[in-house]
Amino acid sequence: MNGTIPSPCQQRCQLDDAGESCLSCRRTLKEIAGWPGFSDFEKKAVWNRLLALPPQGQCKQCPACGDSFTCRAGDAAEECWCARLPHIMPLVPEGSDCLCPACLLQALATQPPAAGV
């Protein structure tokens, strides 16, 4: 029965430069167009392919200044820019998200030196 497996669609459709895949859900045009008629087996195959892809960078909003930026934490192919900076935690209140590059560098500059390091 079709309809039991949820669509990977994230309602933020944008095609890649080649016009072959959605940058949001990462499905091909063929997968997007065929989804409504796919069997559960075919839908699972699409999901398996998507889940095997390396994680994408996430668009985030800085809690300090409100600017948008891309975070690649957890991306096996390309580490996040912040991974090259000193690890001083916590810089943001608990439950907040990452700081943008400018705010993180500013926060690091104002942190006292760590004891015993």
Q: pLDDT for 16-57, tens place per residue?
A: 899 999 988 999 999 999 999 999 999 999 999 999 987 777
Angstrom CA distances, 13 to 22, 23, 44, 49, stand at 6, 7, 21, 19
- Say if residue 38 is in the same domain as residue 64: no
**DSSP code at position 94:** T
Asked if 81 and 45 sit in the same domain, the reply is no
The tally of domains found in the chain comes to: 2
- Identify the domain containing residue 106 by its residue range: 58-110
Task: Please give the share of the chain, as a percent, with pLDDT higher than 70.
Answer: 77
Q: CB-side exposure of 19: number of CA atoms within 13 Å? A: 0
Same domain, 62 and 49: no
Q: Do 68 and 25 share a structural domain?
A: no
